[in-house]
Amino acid sequence: MQALMACVGAFLAAALINGCDRSESSTQHGSNQEQVRLVPVSVVQVTPSPIKDILILPGQTEAWQDVVVAAETGGRIDWVGPKEGDFVKVGDLIARVDVASLKATLDRSEAALKLADDLYRRRVKLFEREIINQEELDRVVAELALAKADFRQARVEYDRGFTRAPISGVVNHLFVEEGEFLDRGKPLAEMVNVDQVKVNVNVPELDVRFLKTGQRAMVRVDAFPDREMVGTIDFLAYKADPATKTFLAKVLMPNPGHDIRPGMIARVVFVRRLIPNALSAPLFALIDKGGERMVFVEKEGVAHARAVTIGVIEGDRVQIIRGLEPGDRLIVTGQREVEEGMKVQVR
């Protein structure tokens, strides 16, 4: 009997120990499950900061000055000075037309002027001695005036045979060669000045109200992707293009190295407005759920969903018009792993 009681006691003790072990194991397992449910996230505090409303438009570069030099008189070209690609200063001689006949006309008019001037001087002396009357003196005065006018006209026609550069720049193209015959008004050379360049941009009608002449703009030329240049709006059209309903804007910028050439493609960045105290969020923090833009904020270790309305986008940040308040702890990593009311662990 005593042996039986001892066996029963031992069995009960073993059962009690096993029961305690299972209870402790179950409690520990439940605690681990609770820790697994905590999603690790990163947060940033929402604070007001300036944000720029930026407009980026494509454009094309144009020379600051682009002039086609025409012949001012017809004739055979007997001399061409610069070659294509040469730099010439304003007033430099570019080409000369055969001016032999014009020189003869100039010489005759010069001789006629000298004769008229001599006659005038003699008639003045005779008039002072009262040998001739006022009418004769007036006639020689008129003849002298006509001789001077003829001489000036002959000088103008003669000088037109010498074509000079109207601007300082590069001879981009020559339309003639020595020995060719050229009619008056026909193109002789094309000159460009690229000390500065203009970027022509077509601005949509909804954006033109934000721009004005003198406003600065950032320019990037596709041929130089790592270079950022500053330009100024030099012209803004008052009339829209009837086909595109856009307004032409010309952005002027310096080109000291002459490496930006007319016809290159560029991107112009205009600042339409500056919002000084905007609430913003990283673009990647937003989640699209059924067409509704959402963000998650963390409060006391719990994730809360917020529907937001966005505004201006600048780079990788977006303005939040509604849905966030200053001081909110915005979840920026791990937001796609959480749901409303889920506990999170801030890293």
String of DSSP letters for 150-198:
HHHHHHHHHHTTEEE-SSSEEEEEE---TT-EE-TT-EEEEEEEEEEEE
Residues of the chain with CATH 1.10.287.470: 100-160
Distances (CA, A) of 202 to 66, 136, 314: 20, 70, 21
The pLDDT assigned to 30 comes to 45
Q: Does position 231 have pLDDT exceeding 50, yes or no?
A: yes
- The 10s digit of each residue's pLDDT in 3-59 is 434 433 444 344 433 444 444 444 444 444 444 568 999 999 999 999 998 999 999
Q: Give the closest residue to 197 by CA, choosing from 268, 269, 263, 255.
A: 255
Distances (CA, A) of 118 to 115, 143, 185: 5, 11, 39
The architecture of the domain spanning 100-160 is Orthogonal Bundle (1.10)
Question: Three-state SS for 13?
Answer: helix
Identify the CATH number of the domain defined by range 279-346: 2.40.420.20
The span from the CA of 207 to the CA of 48, in Å, is 26
Residues of the chain with CATH 2.40.420.20: 279-346
User: Which CATH fold would you assign to the domain 56-63+193-275?
Assistant: Elongation Factor Tu (Ef-tu); domain 3 (2.40.30)
Look at the pTM and tell me if it is higher than 0.85.
no
Residues of the chain with CATH 2.40.30.170: 56-63+193-275
- The 10s digit of each residue's pLDDT in 264-319 is 999 999 998 889 999 999 999 999 888 889 999 999 999 999 999 999 888 889 99
The pLDDT assigned to 112 comes to 94
- The 10s digit of each residue's pLDDT in 79-103 is 999 999 999 999 999 999 998 888 8
